[in-house]
Amino acid sequence: MKAAQAVQLIQKVLQGSHPLDEQILSSLNYLERQLESLKKKSALFEKIGFSEQMEHLLEQAAAAAAH
């Protein structure tokens, strides 16, 4: 999966036009891994994070995965 594709899918969820499903969970995980990888590679990325909407979506995804 490419980052652009993952972002497009997540945008659809945030806009309410796509449900939170396995494809979205995969996209969220992919983007989380990519961000963590960037943070490990360079201090320039240490303070970069997700938006509040994205953080909320990550919490929803974690809750859905727990059930």
67 pLDDT higher than 80: no
Q: 50: which 2 tokens? A: 């997700």
Which amino acid, one-letter code, is at 8? Answer: Q
Question: What is the pTM for the complete model shown?
Answer: 0.82
Q: What is the pLDDT of residues 40-53, one digit of tens each?
A: 999 999 999 999 99
Q: What is the pLDDT of residues 20-46, one digit of tens each?
A: 888 999 999 999 999 999 999 999 999
Which amino acid, one-letter code, is at 58? Answer: L
- Predicted local confidence at residue 1, as pLDDT: 67
DSSP state of 62: H
Which amino acid, one-letter code, is at 2? Answer: K
